[in-house]
Amino acid sequence: MNVQNDDLMHRPLRVKVRMDFRGVGKPGRFLFGGKPSDKAAEDLREQQVAVFRNVPIQGIQVEDIDMSAEVYTVQDEVSSAEVAYAPVVLQLRAETLEDVVKFIARDDFRKIEIIDPPNLTLTRYDVERLLFRVAEEMRVYRSLLERKYNSR
């Protein structure tokens, strides 16, 4: 990836990635143990933020985590159940564009904003590496889904 900038030819990429973590409510047994969907979404968001803060990711530096957005609920079209989403905005510094792919290949991914640099120039080789990385992430995701549904 070549960055068109007079300062540095290869400076890190800075992006904001929004992820919305899905929480599905669980009915309680008898009078206790239930968890509303908004609480489930908040709990999942807290768990994932702890991972982002504490587990290093090769090629990625987490600069800021914004959890200030309110949890919102929607009606699931398939199950007709109420589903809550807890948004998080991560500000990341990435060594390469390929390093960002692992964030946009997630189910939680909603939006990306490239903060810096203002212009990117990709060579044919850069695009080939990027597409290879996308395909690789999709293979990993597919195998995780297969394991999940075959174990039931």
Whether 96 has a pLDDT exceeding 50, the answer reads yes
Nearest to 129 by CA among 97, 100, 106, 92: 97
User: Over 50: is that where the pLDDT of 115 sits?
Assistant: yes
Q: Does residue 10 register a pLDDT over 80? A: no
Q: What is the reported pTM?
A: 0.79
pLDDT level of residue 7 (50, 70, 90 thresholds): very low
Question: What would the pLDDT profile of 25-41 be if each residue is shown by its tens digit?
Answer: 776 555 565 678 889 99
